[in-house]
Each structure stands twice: as structure tokens, then as C-alpha cells.
Structure 1
Amino acid sequence: MDFAPLISKKAERFRELEAEISSSNLYDDPRKARETLREHTRLKELLANWETLNKTRAQLTENQDLAKGEDKEMAEMAAMEIPDLEKRIADTETAVQFALLPPDPNEDRDAIVEIRGGTGGDEAALFAADLYRMYTRFAETHGFKLEPLEASVGELGGMKEVIFKVTGDQVFRTLRYESGVHRVQRVPATEAQGRIHTSTATVAVLPEAEEVDLELKADEIRIEVCRAGGPGGQGVNTTDSAVQVMHIPTGTIVRCQDGRSQQKNKEKALTILRSRLLEVKQREEAEKYAAQRKGQIGTGDRSEKIRTYNFPQNRVTDHRINLTLYNLDSFIEGNIDEMIGSLQAADMQERLAEAQKAGI
């Protein structure tokens, strides 16, 4: 496929963005400014890859000519470089094709992550706590900021539920594939017979919703203030800062008691509520217009079993792409980059195949 016409249009758009960025009133609209800068960054990378692709193609042609020349030593050197040049061309062509795909409007957003213990009782709560620690360490490694929003502690020190916000560059794009059911196979600390138990925890990764995404009308929400309860220290047990917000049309309820400030808990609860309602809205639209995506990578279906953590074999398997890694001890400590990179690549390949079928 000849990408030159598309690249020409992207280059023209890039020049328009350059003019917008240099304007003194760029930040009059902060939201538009963020979108402009993000689009500028994407197009800058695309055009750089396009330039590299053309240079590498020219170098390949030159090497192929030299490889046919009479100078045997030069021909041999040129021929040795050809496989590497061909690989670089293939990789860069793929990068260009990916960059030409319509971007996901949510990929640059921050994320709200919800982890809940599933089947398995106390062991499930302990596994949920392990996942929370895993994502916390992953976030720290990548310079992301993690803000706890709500937590419910289990009896043995695990977590029945934990909700937190992750802020940084392309956070949702990075973490979106973690949504689903995570299964753990290991011998619980409370198991005297040494038998392996299977437990689960669910993870939901939501793009953070902004107020402009959907309007929460005052007559559609009910806010109640109540006394915080459960484990968590004297401060939690003795303040009336817990806030419960109900979205009346959908019956969605969010409770937040993580902070001592009633106002902050209200803001956190509204943040979670917006993100949940946005997820429902986007899922309904996706099912309406893109039913063929169901069951593929990136659907974010929280009922889908996506991954198994087998501690006796030090193995972690992602069932969507049939990838097994034998480094669970390191993986559970936050070193999940290889898995996330593989999921991103597989999803991009699917999107590229769909675009090619559609003639894009």
C-alpha cells in the first residue's frame, strides 16, 4: 500500500499544529491544549519514522546494487547488511501503519483501577492485595503517580476491594489490558496439608472521565454522609467523613471513606462514578458499532478470565495471547512490561488487520 498520500496529509496537519502550539493563546482552553500537544507528539513520531523508512529503503537499494558489483569485498560487506536493513524496514513499516490507525480517544487518559477479591475467601483478598502491590510497584518504576481512592481490608490483611487512580503519560493505554479475572494457584499460608488452592480477583481499568464527557445532573444523584466503619485505624472509625453517592437513573452506588475530609471523599466518589458511567456508555457504543471486537484483546470485559498466576511452577500465563512467562516471582513484584508490551502489540496487529479489511 502506498502511504505517501496519507503521510502528505499528516504532514500538512503537523504544520497546522506547529502554528497552534506557537500561538500565545494556546492554553486559553487547557483541554484543547492537551489534545493539541498529544496529537503533535504522535504526528512528530510518525513523520520521523516515515523519514527513517525512506532513508533505510534507499540504503537497501544501494546495498543491493553494491552486492552485485565487481568489487568482491565491498559486495560481501553490502550483502551482509541486507538482512538487517530488511528487518529495519519491516519494523518501521509496521510502526508507520500503526501510527496511521485512528487513535483511541481514551489512550492518553489517566486511569481508575478497581481490584476486588473474587472466589476463594481470605485467599482471594490476599491475592487482591498482591495485585495492588504489583501495580503500585509498576507505577513507581514508570514514574506514574498512584492515588488511593477507596479500600476495604480483609480479615487476614488482604483487600476485599481497593480503588485507586493512576496518573501519568498514556496510563490508560498502558494498563487497559489488565481488565478481567485474574486467577491464582498456590498453597495458602493457612493450608496445613500443603494443597494448592485456586482463587480469583477481578481487575477493572477505567479511563478517567472528565466533567465534559457526561453531565451529572443534581436531581439524578443522591449524596449521603455516614460514619466510616471497618478496620483502618482510629481516624477512620471516629469520623463522619464517609460519603456515599448514588446515580439514581442507573442505581450505581459509590462509597468513599478513604480520606478524613468529607469534601475530598465526595470528590473521589464523583470521580469514580463518572468513570464507571463513562465505561458503561462506551461499552454500549462499542457493542452497537463494533460487535466483531467481542472476545478480542482490549475489550476490557471484567468477567473474562485473562490470566493465571501459578506459584508452584513460577509461571504466569495470559490466555488471550497464549503467552507464558516463567518469572512469576519477578512479575508479581511489578516487572510486567514484557506482558503489557506483548498485549499491546497483539491488539495493534488485530486493529491493523481490521483496518486493512476495511480498506483503510
Structure 2
Amino acid sequence: MRPFTYTRAKDATSAIKLLAENPNAKFLAGGTNLLDLMKEDVERPNALIDISELGLTDIKTVTSGANKGGLSIGGLGKNTYAANHPLVRQNYPLLTQAILAGASGQLRNMATNGGNLLQRTRCPYFYEVSMPCNKRQSGSGCGAKEGINRMHAIFGWSEQCVAVYPSDMAVALAALDAVIKVRSTSGQERSIPIAEFHRLPGDQPEKDTNLLHGELITSIELPQNRFADKSYYLKVRDRASYAFALVSVAAALETQGNKIVQARIAMGGVAHKPWRALKAEQMLVGKDATDANFKLAADAEMADAKPLEHNKFKIELGNRSIVLALQMAMKVGKA
């Protein structure tokens, strides 16, 4: 680990100012990803600004704005607190399921909600500093594209990067149309829809998000919905404990009788960002909630997949996972 300075921020304004003044500084909250990357010499900040005592942990009903009546989740709240909060469990069980599917209990006790959104890929070529990686060092190449790419992307990848985004929480947030609230040096707050928060790699794979340097995630807002009774998070992985998804699916349905009024489907483990399965959603609206229609929707979504040499299995796995997640969402609603 390289030398760095450490400052404990007293308030959000001073924390943002300190970060904005130094392009090589990083915020430190739970540190569950950043410290590992520093130890591996992947991240090399020359200054850490500790924001763990700034508050920003409340979970409360939104009282104004576009998401009035929805839920606000503090950016510096712990994952464990969010997953187990009564308002989350009752109204957004999909989020609870996704958070509990990620990492271990000890890590969830440390990891923050904002930090979860900002975690970086677990691509082994990104972590191995002796290997080429455009995400770690622009212009060096992508070792994974022609290497061992079993865990890598089948949607949205570019010649520059085929890495996948690892968060389970963010996949559920994508299905729930979350909005990320951030504050800048001017003191102004802006709202970033979750669909626009993370980026596909394109020709700038080093940029994971559209968050600007000097901005702080203050909260995550969830709009009201009618998905609580019929939602399910499915995570398929090599082992049941402490493993990242080969494929995951966050599925949520609103029905009248057996007719689908709204559908939300997001996938993890398949792209550089949470992948919203828009084609599958569109096919389901107005249809009966049947296995046959679930299969047609999954086929439509997975038809655009572009596998790499070692991950062709993800097409069939993704297809089956979408169907199973939708089936389980309907079973939860009947329980």
C-alpha cells in the first residue's frame, strides 16, 4: 500500500471541498472495496477523506418532490440496516433480498449504501497489476477479452472492456427505478436516475459511473410502486456463500388477476452496469402471467446477448434465470 494522508471530515460541505481540491483523493466510508484495491496497488489515492461520521444514514418516507410517498435511504447507512429496516422489508422486499444475497454478514455490517453503488469490478485482470487492463490503465489493452472470460459480460461490452459490475443491491435498485441524490461543491443537489448512474465501458472503461469528482452520494430514493407482493431476487453463483453472480435477476410484477400490468426486470453478472431487461418487460405488459409468456420474454431479451469464448453458457443460464425469477415472484404473491 502506498503512502496517503488521512482526514476525518467534520461535515459534508468540508468533505466535498477537500475531495474536489485533490483529483487523487478518495472518500472513505466502510472501505470494504477501496482498502482491498489499495492493498493490491490497483487504487492509488494520495489522500483519504473519512466520511463515516457525517450522518446521512436515515431511512424515511419521502415527503416532497417527484418521489413523494416513496422511500429515502441514507447514502452512508450500512447495508445491514437498509436490508432489515421495516419500511424496506415491507414495501421493497426485492431490495432486502438483493442486499442479503451479497457478500457476508460482516461485510454488510461495514459496507455503506453509497459505497455499494460505487464498488468496482472483480475482474481478475483488473486486480492483477501485471496484466493489461484498460479500466486500470487506459490504453494497455483488455486481458479478459481474449483470456479466461467465463465470468464476463454478454451485453454492452466493448473492445476496450468486457468486465461486469458486481453489486447485487444495484440490480434491485435498477428494477425499482431508484434515483441517486448527490451533492456537489456548490452545495446543490442533483438527481441521477439509476439507469444513468452507471456506464457501459465504450471507449472509457475507466469511468464506472457518471458521478463527478467532488460529488457525494447523500441518499437513494425509491418511488412508490405496487411490486411488494410479487418480487424476487435470484442469484446464480458458483457457491452459496460469498460469491459474485454468474447471473442474477431482480424481477417485479404488478398484476390484475393473472394479467400483468407492469413488469420490471434487471440482471446482474452480464454487463458493465445493472442490465435492465427492457425487451422482456415490454413483452410481458398486458399478457397473462404464464410460464409460456415468461419464456417468450426471456427469449426476446437474451437474443441480443453477445457471448465471449468462455461464457456462452450465460445465454441459456440467463434465459432460465429470468423465467425462474418471474415464476418465483408470482409464487411469493400467492404465498
TM-score of the pair, normalised by structure 2: 0.27
Please state which structure has a larger fraction of its residues in helix.
1
Larger radius of gyration: 1
RCO (CA 8 Å, sep 6+): is it higher in 1 or 2?
Answer: 2
